[in-house]
Amino acid sequence: MKFEDLTLAAQEIIKTVTRCKKLVEFVKRSGCNKDIQSFGGTALQQSTVVRWLSLINLLESIVLSYKVTKRVLINRKQQMKLKGIDEKVLKQIIRLLKPFKQVLKIIQTTNAPSLYMVLICTHKLRKTLSSFDELTNYHSPSSTNSSSDIENDIHEEIDMTENERMKILRMRILALLNLTFELDIRHYCATLLHARYRQLKRCTKDKHDQTYKYIRKRMSEIIKVNQEKDIQPPQKKIKSQQSFLQQYEDNSDPERCFDECDTSGSEDYAFITPKADELSRYLSMDIDKSSLTDNPLDFWRKNQSVSRYCQN
């Protein structure tokens, strides 16, 4: 899509971001960052094309030092560099982009297998962008989404209403997200096979059933292959850190979850199987969550009696 094909609201937001990039380039080239820091501000940060997180950091640095930057530019008779850059608009853009920042930070700061995160992160982003109320709740003080003091400063005194151009941008981002990320059965299986997320919270009963069916089919194939050839599990040393993923962890009482049947598809579901197999034993295991790490393979290395599927 060409720039001229975008709505006027979307064009204005892109122009604002472009102006911010030019402002930071000038500040760095002219040495204004030293003046900004000497007046108690934060140095403005440049962005790079290959690092999407750097764009959000650029916008946040401008908001944090907006007044100081304006003062420095006035002293240098360069206040025109701030023309078209509205502090309130920047805060609204940052509010919209912050969920993506958190997801990217979680994914980029880990060396552990991350396929299980796709389902959780996609669900989280879709839910957050589904309405302005959800986006506001994401940033609320009671939210489990951790924020630094700097981020809290940025979101202070921000408008609690959504203007038309930000609404258009939010809906457009959601549409692109739904178009770009197509969840398939492997994402559900990867999440279920992480011992913290066995219950597939916030997934429909139909998705539960499809996942169980697929895993049992693959287990049958793997068992058949194992009868012909012994497969050794890979050995890796991996560590990671998480954040809002706690919202998708299993309940503390797994038996209650699997004994209750919820046909609404919103929370947890009954697990009914005609006979006990590795999957059913795994789903009904009493697991000490405090012993689990972010790396799903650590659990399977310690529980190899039910690990045939995971190893493949």
For residue 106, the SS3 value is helix
Structural domain total, the chain: 2
| Domain limits for position 307 | 193-311
58 located within any domain: yes
- How far apart are alpha carbons 215 and 250 in whole angstroms? 19
Classify residue 125: in a domain, yes or no.
no
The pLDDT tens digits for 89-146 are 999 999 999 999 999 888 877 778 889 999 999 999 999 999 999 999 988 765 666 5
| End position of a domain, from candidates 85, 112, 139 | 85
Whether residue 105 lies inside any domain: the answer is no
pLDDT of residue 150: 54
> How big is the chain by its Cα radius of gyration, in Å?
24
* Residue 151 pLDDT exceeds 90: no
Lowest mean pLDDT among 2-11, 92-101, 248-257: 248-257
- Residues 194 and 190: their CA atoms lie apart, in Å, by 7
HSE-CB of 301 using CA atoms within 13 angstroms: 12
Q: What average pLDDT does the segment 146-161 reach?
A: 60
| Identity of residue 236 | K
Write phi, then psi, for 100 (nearest 5 degrees). -70, -35
Q: What is the mean pLDDT of residues 154-181?
A: 83
Range 207-214 average pLDDT? 95
Q: Are 294 and 242 in contact (CB under 8 A)?
A: yes
This prediction has a pTM of: 0.74
Q: Are the beta carbons of 142 and 99 closer than 8 angstroms?
A: no
C-beta of residue 76 within 8 angstroms of C-beta of residue 93: no
End-of-domain residue from the set 70, 85, 100: 85
Decide if 137 is inside a domain. no
Look at residue 293 and tell me if it is in a domain. Answer: yes
Domain-ending residue, one of 25, 51, 85? 85
135 within some domain: no
pLDDT above 90 for 175: yes
pLDDT digits (tens, 9 = 90+) for 257-300: 555 444 444 444 444 444 667 888 888 888 888 888 888 888 88
Q: Does residue 54 fall inside a structural domain?
A: yes
Residue 9 lies in a domain: yes
- The lowest-confidence range among 27-31, 189-193, 244-248 is 244-248
